[in-house]
Amino acid sequence: MTQYDAIVIGAGHNGLVCASLLAKAGRRVLVVEASPSVGGLASSREFSDGFRAAPVHSVTHFSSVVAGALNLQQYGLSFNPSCPTIGLAEDAAPISLHGDQVWGVGGSDTDAYAEYRQKLLRYGKAISVIWEKTLPRIGLAGLRDSGVYAQAFMKMRGLGGEDMSELVRVLTLPMRDLVSECFEDPRLQALLCWDGLIGSKMAPRSPNNAVLPLLLRMNGESGGDYVTPKGGVSALVDALAACAKAAGVTIKTDAPVKNVTIEGSEQGLAAVGVELVGGETISAPLVVSSADPKTTFLDLVGAGNLEIQFANRISRLRSKGYVAKFHAALSELPTIPGVDSLEGRMIIAPDMDAIEFAYDEAKYGEASESPVMEIAFPSLHDPSVAPQGQHVLSAHVMYAPYDEKTGWSDEARNAFKDRVLATLERHIPGLGALIKGSELLTPLDIEQQYGATGGHWHHVELALEQMMMMRPTHGAAQYATPIPGLYLCGAGSHPGGGIMGAAGHNAARRILK
């Protein structure tokens, strides 16, 4: 039987990145994945005869540091040119954004937009140093590594006094305030809110937690514009898997982990391997989990092996998803009035109140009466997901609370799906007639099918108190955990969230140190 130096739990993109980096450093690495395929939330599945889709439909800020470190280009990863983001309206021409330009809004907004975007990009760049490094503990304990904070501070200072203080101010603004200070057009305001909110329990009026994730999203090379890999999201997964295999990583699919094997000795507890649901035990001195922190600690490690306060901090993590995923199989590409190319993404949110009010219902465990959504057609970038000449519509729909009050009864799910379809039909007339099949994944479904607690995109909410050197919580925020030999490398670790790969990368660096 092969002896492994490290076992990585989960073959999502962070798990694959981490495994590859460890293998490249000479470690013998095994990746165990619960599902039949690799890629986690980026892996596509058949949802209708011959039609496939993945929860993820864009890759706007995959880390270029990671891509470089793994030489992913060699394994076929390259990106399409960025595409516009389009705001659809029922009775008006659409508006669109691309780069520094905006079309379809009044002159003052047009002028303000380039300035706004450049300002945010400048701010994002000033703090970007924090995303690709392990953030040390604060105080004396982290002093040795605290250069990253000094670096970030000096970069912020480099912006100049006025800009630096403005950055500090806007960091905690609600999206609504940030965009209404600059723009008048309601649809443009809603469109710009989107990337600060998506994936989280946030609405335009929610303070504190929107701008930092927005700057993180804008940190990619496209500056926040919609980007897909050439060949679609699956091309990224394929490249990561190919890279891992080339580095010597063994990937075992259909191998759900039952628990992390913990052994006690005079020195205390330590992780020494994993036991699979099938009964097989595999030992290794190092276990790295890309599963979310709640799954990792409460299910796989077990609260009994954790100090009580740490276990409490894990169980209080906010990790309930509010985004549903809708997939439709289309017999042909629809036409959307006023939109020439459907290669970009389209957002249905007439104004900020529409998003806010949709959110209000979700707070009480009700799926939104008038959902808002982001639409893309993945089949335009990856024809393999649909039969020849046919297409897939993919939509992130807000808000669908994880703990829907009926527990997502069929009735509630169908009613919500009907509302999604009706909203789509109003904005894309004739769409309904093209739909051959469809599915709606609620956060509960995403949890059940993909294993992410709460069906949360980011594993744990991207909120200030759960970010940076507090992600997921203190005691586990530098990838090492209270259990020697056990590390985290998933989206629940810094910097977390989105298809970025940085958590896997930082964890590997930390482990190899």
Partner 1 sequence: MKTYDAIIIGAGHNGLTNAAYLAKAGLDVVVVEKNEYIGGAAVSRELEDGFLYSSCSYVCSMMRQVIHRDLDLTKHGLMLVPYLGTVAFGDNGETLTSYTAEGPAYNELRRHSPHDADAMFRLLADLDRYSTLIRKTLLRTPPDPTKFRIRDINELIFLAKTFGELGETEIYEYIRFFTMSAAEFLDDYFENDFIAAVMATPGIIGTALGIDSPGSAYILLHHVMGDVDGNIGAWGLARGGMGSISKALAGALMEHGGEIRTNAGVSQIRVKDGVANGVVLENGDEIDGKIVVSNLDAKRTFTKIMDPKDLPPGILKKAQNFKIRGSSGKVNIALSGLPKFNNVPDNRYINRGGQGFVGSLRTLEKAYDAWKRGTWSDDPFIESVIPSAWDPTVAPPGKHWMSNFIQYCPPELADGPWTPEKRDAFGQTVIDKIERYSPGFKDLIVHMEVRTPHEIENEIGLTEGNIFQGELTIDQLLFNRPFPGYAQYRMPVDKMYMCGSSTHPGGGVSSACGANAAREILRDLKLGNTVPEDDCYDD
Question: What is the Cα–Cα distance from 205 to 356, expressed in whole angstroms?
Answer: 7
Determine, following the binding rule CB under 8 A, whether residue 364 of this chain makes contact with partner 1.
yes
Determine, following the binding rule CB under 8 A, whether residue 192 of this chain makes contact with partner 1.
no
Question: What is the Cα–Cα distance from 457 to 500, expressed in whole angstroms?
Answer: 12
Q: Which is nearer to partner 1, 162 or 411 (CB)?
A: 162
Question: Phi and psi for 88 in degrees, rounded to 5?
Answer: -85, 150
Q: Which is nearer to partner 1, 145 or 439 (CB)?
A: 145
Distance of closest approach, residue 297 Cβ to partner 1, in angstroms: 17
Determine, following the binding rule CB under 8 A, whether residue 98 of this chain makes contact with partner 1.
no
Distance of closest approach, residue 294 Cβ to partner 1, in angstroms: 15
Which one among 242, 259, 285, 357 touches partner 1, defined by CB under 8 A? 357
Distance of closest approach, residue 173 Cβ to partner 1, in angstroms: 5
Q: Which is nearer to partner 1, 208 or 259 (CB)?
A: 208
User: CA angle, 425 as apex, 424 and 426 as ends, to 5°?
Assistant: 90
Give which of 400, 368, 105, 84 is closest to 223, Cα–Cα: 84
Distance of closest approach, residue 467 Cβ to partner 1, in angstroms: 9
Which one among 5, 275, 360, 439 touches partner 1, defined by CB under 8 A? 360
Question: What is the Cα–Cα distance from 212 to 222, expressed in whole angstroms?
Answer: 17
Binding pattern for the stretch 135-164 against partner 1, x by CB under 8 A and - elsewhere: --xxx-x---------------x---xx-x
Q: Which is nearer to partner 1, 33 or 404 (CB)?
A: 404
User: Could you tell me how many residues of this chain bind partner 1 (CB under 8 A)?
Assistant: 37
Question: What is the Cα–Cα distance from 69 to 21, expressed in whole angstroms?
Answer: 8
> Which range in 65-73, 337-345, 354-362, 381-389 contacts partner 1 by CB under 8 A?
354-362
Residue with tokens 């605290």: 146
Question: What is the Cα–Cα distance from 363 to 89, expressed in whole angstroms?
Answer: 26
Instruction: Note whether 300 and 287 are within 8 A (CB).
Output: no
Which one among 171, 242, 421, 435 touches partner 1, defined by CB under 8 A? 171
Determine, following the binding rule CB under 8 A, whether residue 303 of this chain makes contact with partner 1.
no
Distance of closest approach, residue 109 Cβ to partner 1, in angstroms: 16
State which of positions 196-215 bind partner 1 (CB under 8 A).
Answer: 205-209
Q: Which is nearer to partner 1, 162 or 410 (CB)?
A: 162
> Which range in 124-132, 166-174, 299-307, 503-511 contacts partner 1 by CB under 8 A?
166-174
For the purposes of burial, counting CB atoms within 10 Å of the CB of 249, is it exposed (0-12), middle (13-18) or buried (19 or more)? buried
Residue 128 is classified by DSSP as G
Determine, following the binding rule CB under 8 A, whether residue 173 of this chain makes contact with partner 1.
yes
Question: What is the Cα–Cα distance from 133 to 206, expressed in whole angstroms?
Answer: 28
Distance of closest approach, residue 502 Cβ to partner 1, in angstroms: 22
Which one among 114, 143, 154, 168 touches partner 1, defined by CB under 8 A? 168
Q: Which is nearer to partner 1, 280 or 465 (CB)?
A: 465
State which of positions 427-486 bind partner 1 (CB under 8 A).
Answer: 463-465, 470, 473-474
Strand partners, 395: 326, 375
The percent of the chain in helix, strand and coil, each rounded to the nearest 5, is: 40, 20, 40
Distance of closest approach, residue 156 Cβ to partner 1, in angstroms: 9
Q: Which is nearer to partner 1, 183 or 450 (CB)?
A: 183
Question: What is the Cα–Cα distance from 138 to 452, expressed in whole angstroms?
Answer: 29
Distance of closest approach, residue 181 Cβ to partner 1, in angstroms: 5
Q: Which is nearer to partner 1, 14 or 466 (CB)?
A: 466
Which one among 7, 170, 291, 395 touches partner 1, defined by CB under 8 A? 170
Question: What is the Cα–Cα distance from 40 to 290, expressed in whole angstroms?
Answer: 10
What is 332-396 written as a DSSP string?
S----TT-S--SSEEEE-SSHHHHHHHHHHHHTT---SS-EEEEE-GGGT-GGGSSTT-EEEEEE
Question: What is the Cα–Cα distance from 291 to 490, expressed in whole angstroms?
Answer: 6
Question: What is the Cα–Cα distance from 129 to 243, expressed in whole angstroms?
Answer: 26
Strand partners, 7: 30, 287
Distance of closest approach, residue 320 Cβ to partner 1, in angstroms: 11
Query: What Å distances lie between residue 473 and 3, 77, 292, 309, 481, CA to CA?
Result: 32, 33, 12, 11, 10
Which one among 108, 332, 363, 448 touches partner 1, defined by CB under 8 A? 363
**Strands (DSSP E) along 108-266, which ranges?**
250-252, 257-265
By CB under 8 A, name the binding residues for partner 1. Answer: 137-139, 141, 157, 161-162, 164-166, 168-173, 177, 181, 205-209, 316, 318, 353, 356-357, 360, 363-364, 463-465, 470, 473-474
